[in-house]
Amino acid sequence: MDEKLLRSLAQDLVGGKLSVDDFLVRLKELPYLDMGDVKLDTHRALRKAFPEVVYCPGKSDDQLLRIAEVVAERDGPALFSRATEAQYAIIRRALPEAEYFPVARLVAARLPIEHPYDGVVVASAGSSDVPVAEEAAIVAIAMGCKVKRIYDVGVAGLHRLLVHIEELQSAKVVVAVAGMDGALPSVIGGIVSCPVIAVPTSVGYGASFGGLAALLTMLNACASGISVVNIDNGLGGGYCAALIARQAYREKG
């Protein structure tokens, strides 16, 4: 309920400025503000802390420019995902302060300067999974997290992973990114006690079926505490991780 609006309408009613009928008409005219505001408050709160994310593929240069102009007029951090270098050039016309993360294919503007939420680890199995892992990492950073990256630690060379055992065990949340056999989250899930967000990638060929193999592996992970996002969804993985990392900073109970 938009309390202020309601209160003013009620006072108008009491004060005789509105008849009962007019009061009802006004209420009915505004079902959206009414109910929606509650959510919108929340939403706005979210938006202050979290970046807006614009998905670039398939957008025309013109569309992208107009979106960037709208974003430029608002406050708060903004992210453009899966952006090409050419798209970055267009976005920069409206948002000159925007910077480009070529590996993560992200354009970012007005990112937070402080990163109060620590404990996010992003791990990737192979070097080909790094673009997805970087997308997760930058998104979490954009949401105020400190991120530790542990890349190229696939289970086929277990010793590479095990060197990082202490960093993993002190994490508050791990994003585990892997294509092909997708086994990394299973192994990490057995080592850590915090939540693991598993991100399958489409890296592989043949019976990887565009990431389906890795996705199924992760959904069937034997270790507890693992949940999964869509194939190549680094953004979703980083977003979930940041939400979890921020929990530690919520007021208790």
Which residues 198-227 are close enough to bind a second copy by CB under 8 A? 198, 200, 202, 204-227
Of 128, 134, 129, 127, give the one whose Cα is nearest residue 105.
134
Q: What is the DSSP letter of 52?
A: E
Using the contact rule CB under 8 A, the part of the chain among 45-53, 69-77, 85-93, 106-114 near a second copy is 45-53
Smallest separation (angstroms) from a second copy to the CB of 217: 4
- Return the DSSP state at 251: P
Task: Phi first, then psi: give them for residue 108, nearest 5 degrees.
Answer: -130, 145
What is the crossing angle of helices 212-219 and 184-191, to 10°?
A: 20
Which of 65, 92, 118, 152 touches a second copy by CB under 8 A? 118
Residues 57-116 that bind a second copy (CB under 8 A): 58, 116
Whichever of 77 and 195 has its CB closer to a second copy, that residue is 195
Smallest CA-to-CA distance from 54 within 24, 94, 7 is with 94
Question: Distance between CA 91 and CA 33 in Å, rounded?
Answer: 32
DSSP 157: G
Name the segment binding a second copy (CB under 8 A); options: 72-80, 93-101, 106-114, 188-196.
Answer: 188-196
Report how many residues bind a second copy under the rule CB under 8 A. 107
Q: How far is the CB of 82 from a second copy (least distance, A)?
A: 9
Instruction: Please state, in angstroms and rounded to a whole number, the distance separating the CA atoms of residues 57 and 192.
Output: 36
List binders of a second copy among 125-164 (CB under 8 A). Answer: 125-126, 128, 154-159, 162-163
Least Å distance between CB 130 and a second copy? 11
